[in-house]
Structure 1
Amino acid sequence: MTTLRTPGPTLGVVGGGQLGRMLAEAAAPLGVEVVVLDPTPDCPAAPVARDQIVADFDDEAGIRELAARADVLTFEIELADQDVLERVSEDSGTPVHPKPATLETIHDKLVQKRELEAAGVPVPPFREVEDADDIREAIDDYGAPVMLKARTGGYDGRGNVPVESKDEAEEALESVAGPAMVEAFVEFEREVSVIAVEGYDETAAFPIGENVHVDEILRETIVPARSSDAVAERAREVAEDVLEVMDGRGVYGIELFETTDGEILLNEIAPRPHNSGHWTIEGAHSSQFEQHVRAVLGWPLAATDLRSSTVMTNLLGDVEENQKAALRGVEKIHETPAAHLHWYGKREARPLRKMGHVTVCARDDETDVEDLLETARGLEESVTFTAE
């Protein structure tokens, strides 16, 4: 285990978006400094990080500079280049967590599903797609609709195309525009996720959250999930099996389907803190961001217990076209004692872009999660992003 000291080491983060920002916020109280690498000058993480290196996520010279200034490297975006990270780590001696090999697995959804299936992790039926006939055959075998997915590059619903009939196969494949796979459509009761942590010699997991998506974009996370104890325990077991497949320390966002039969199937994995874990900042005894800092540095993990029932709602760009961002109407949030606003500091609002989030926590054990959800939705509706 890494020797602990305060002031502590420097963590180099590839990516300086909102996840990098919240990582830096969590690292500071631990005495850990953060340097981020991001191509956008004055990126969201810049105001709270020690410094920013302005470079592309796969810029080898920039990553070498980051490694020279850091004790450990990590990443908050999957656009980081695993080959570059591997070379830089070997040459500099600066470790990377999670390991670049895990990033390589995650980059290709087909590779990811094959490795997980081989390890016994329950996944929906899937197959590789080379042409439209493969989609039509999947519809014959799985029934319609099926979900066509880009193997690389998709996030927030991008690259996921439901195919309702064989007649749509050709057009759907053209819209993906690259290597693809197809999955059976899962009839689910709800979508849930587990934020799991691989530490130096221990693992941990936060209570499962229930996720509400609209147009494939996460809108709300409800904790605890409105699932049975048996389903929650099964979700945690699957998350532990996933950690066995992943290589390297850190936080993993593990998205799951709870089927109508009460089974758990894996959807996707993010080898980093995840949007569905933002509730942990106020709702748990430690946040996913603190846990990621602790894990990648090889420090002991903190408690992941739930403080109180919690609902997180995303604040998305409510604009029709790109424009300068100004968050307005926050008075209602500030007037609500158990509400917490997180503004990501993005300079530009875009349609459905994640601009921030609001967390609402129960103030006592009598608070009903449905009441929290109603409050969170009302607060989300009270704000808007308009031009300065």
Structure 2
Amino acid sequence: MTITVPGPTLGVVGGGQLGRMLAEAAAPLGVETVVLDPTPDCPAAPVARDQIIGDFDDPEAIGRLAERTDALTYEIELADPDHLAAASDDAGVPVHPTPETLRTIQDKYAEKEMLSEAGVPVPDYHRVDSAADLRAAVEEFGAVMLKARMGGYDGRGNVPVRSPDDAEAALAEIGMADDPAALAETFVDFERELSVMGVQGDGEVCTFPVGENVHEAEILRETVVPARTDDAVAERAQTVARDVLDTLSGRGVFGIELFETPEGEILVNEIAPRPHNSGHWSIEGAVASQFEQHARAVLGWPLGSTRLRAPTVSANVLGTVDEQRPAELAGVEAVLEREAAHLHWYGKDDVRPLRKMGHVTATAEEGDDTTALLESTRDLRDGLTFR
């Protein structure tokens, strides 16, 4: 393989914060990016070479993106796999991860079936096509997490159900009252939530260190790396993550969310066929970030090192206002004054409740207590306010 700089142009369906950080990581490699997003001046626009304004399922817009680039990828699961495949064929450019992988992961039931058939450990689950199906699942499992098969993210489209009598109301809450298409998954008595960012390159496979994720109201708040678990559990998480990668086609980064049970077993929760919020720590905490790895992998270039530079905590900056309004962040000075702390602002014009607006990352010296690092990073993040 011969690689020259300047390099190829990477087309990205989606221009949110993931597209922004992907463009930032690609630029030092000599790779330019063009993003497709329906929002004019999207978060990625200031750092990408150009933006095509269009919907994620607009075949004409995706076709124009393919014609202007040397490879296609996506940073959001709302991308249309059929249109990606057609644009790839028409323009003669590769798309990674493959549309087949995207199509499977877009459907939570199909994803669970794929993993289960491959022998990858997952929580017990049932397909839900009616209120009767949901009632039966609750009666069998005792309590379930009801998930819309399509379109859910950041906890949206998920609702806990503890009584068969709540079946109709739960389906209505996830928008499936008239046409149920859902998954009922048994509640997992987990010790902690983990994640592994896995990477498939051109004949190469690698994984990042295991992260520990702290959620509240189904939304990720912080990630701690290395995870505060024992070595045997971390090794098991890495093994399961590699087993997951074996079931997927195409190159790129995959965010693999996991449950650690009290017995130390690992169960796969969900997969994201793209860089993931729980991998943001890698920008400062790893030798090559998840975003650099994704660009390298999609282009078929050699992968970088996933080695942990130092214990790292990443904390999301979420919208704390009661209603949507122009975004202006205050209290930034404390983050900038802290040694080994880093602010990432996503460039979104408006703040609204629980919207991801940025993140704060802090690194520690070898041997420093990660719990103390988590608390101090939370304090930095909580000191940020929206005017």
TM-score, normalising length from structure 1?
Answer: 0.98
Matched, 1:381 2:377: no
**CA distance in structure 2 between the partners assigned to 1:183 and 1:207 by the alignment:** 27
Structure 1 position 135, deviation (Å)? 1.6
CA distance in structure 1 between the partners assigned to 2:130 and 2:296 by the alignment: 45
AA partner of residue 154 (structure 1): G
Alignment partner, residue 138 of structure 2:
139
Query: Which runs of 5 or more residues in structure 2 are unaligned?
Result: none
Tell me whether 1:352 sits opposite 2:354 in the alignment. Answer: yes
For 1:99-110, what aligned pairs fall within 5 Å after superposition?
99-110=98-109
Per-residue Cα deviation, 1:145-183 (whole angstroms, up to 9, x for no partner) = 211110000000001110021121111012122311101
Residue in structure 2 matched with residue 299 of structure 1 by the alignment = 301
Counterpart-to-counterpart distance in 1, 2:173 and 2:265: 32
Per-residue deviation at 1:290?
0.2
For residues 139 and 164 of structure 2, what CA distance do their matches in structure 1 show? 9
Note if 1:121 corresponds to 2:123.
no
CA distance in 1, matches of 2:130, 2:97: 34
Cα offset, 1:237, TM superposition? 0.7
The residue type equivalent to 1:185 in the other structure is F
State yes or no: 1:270 paired with 2:272.
yes
Task: State which of 315, 318, 325 in structure 2 corresponds to 1:313.
Answer: 315
Q: Which string of whole-angstrom CA distances, capped at 9 and with x for unpartnered residues, describes residues 288-319 of structure 1?
A: 00000000000000000100000000000010
Q: Which of 154, 157, 168 is matched with 1:156 structurally? A: 154
Matched residue pairs, number?
383
Q: Is 1:206 aligned with 2:208?
A: yes
Query: 2: CA distance between counterparts of 1:221 and 1:207?
Result: 12
One-letter code of the match for 1:296? Answer: V
How far apart, in 2, do the equivalents of 1:67 and 1:252 lie? 22
Q: Provide Cα deviations, 1:224-262, integer angstroms capped at 9, x if missing partner.
A: 001111111111111111111111000000000001111
**Secondary structure of 1:194's partner?**
strand
Does residue 191 of structure 2 align to residue 193 of structure 1? no
1:371 & 1:127 partners in 2: Cα distance? 40
Shift of 1:195: 0.2
Query: Within 5 Å, which residues of 2 pair with 1:29-40?
Result: 29-40=28-39
Distance 2:127 2:368 in 1: 47
Q: Which residue among 216, 221, 244 is the counterpart of 2:218? A: 216
Instruction: Look up the equivalent residue of 1:73 and give its one-letter code.
Output: L
Matches of 1:4 and 1:155, distance apart in 2: 37
- What is the percent sequence identity of the aligned residues? 65
Q: What is the distance in 2 between the residues matched to 1:355 and 1:309?
A: 24
**How far apart are the structure 1 equivalents of 2:320 and 2:8?**
40
1:242 & 1:385 partners in 2: Cα distance? 40
Map residues 67-78 of structure 1 onto 2, 5 A cutoff.
67-78=66-77
- Choose which of 250, 254, 257 in structure 2 pairs with 1:255: 257
1:237 aligns with 2:236: no
Which SS does the other structure have where 2:191 is aligned? strand
**Which moved further from structure 2: 131-140 or 338-347?**
131-140
1:77-88 map, 5 Å: 77-88=76-87
The match for 1:177 among 172, 175, 184 is 175
Equivalent position amino acid for 1:174 in 2: A
One-letter identity of the residue aligned with 1:370: T
Please say which of residues 95-104 and 59-68 is displaced more in the overlay.
59-68
The whole-number CA distance in structure 2 between the counterparts of 1:325 and 1:173 is 34
Find the aligned partners of 2:129 and 2:202 in 1 and give their Cα distance: 41
What amino acid sits opposite 1:22 in the alignment?
M
In 2: Cα distance, 1:112 partner to 1:10 partner = 31
Alpha-carbon deviations, 1:25-84, whole Å to 9, x = none?
Answer: 000100000000001000000000011011111111111111111000000000100000
Shifted more, 284-293 versus 178-187: the winner is 178-187
Flag as ranges the 4+ runs of structure 1 deviating above 6 A: none
SS in 2 for 1:188: coil
Paired residue secondary structure (2:214): strand
RMSD: 0.8
Distance in 1 (alpha carbons) for counterparts of 2:15 and 2:309: 29
Deviations 1:300-349 (A, max 9, x none): 00000100000000000010000000111111101101100000000000
Q: Map residues 48-67 of structure 1 onto 2, 5 A cutoff.
A: 48-67=47-66
In the alignment, the residues of structure 1 paired with residue 248 and residue 104 of structure 2 have an alpha-carbon distance, to the nearest angstrom, of 9
* 1:96 alignment partner in structure 2: 95
Structure 1 Cα separation of the partners of residues 102 and 367 of structure 2: 42
In the TM superposition, what is the alpha-carbon distance from 1:140 to its structure 2 partner? 2.0
The aligned counterpart of 1:289 is: 291
Residue in structure 2 matched with residue 343 of structure 1 by the alignment: 345
Aligned to 1:372: 373
* Superposition deviation, residue 134 in structure 1: 1.4
1:166 maps to 164
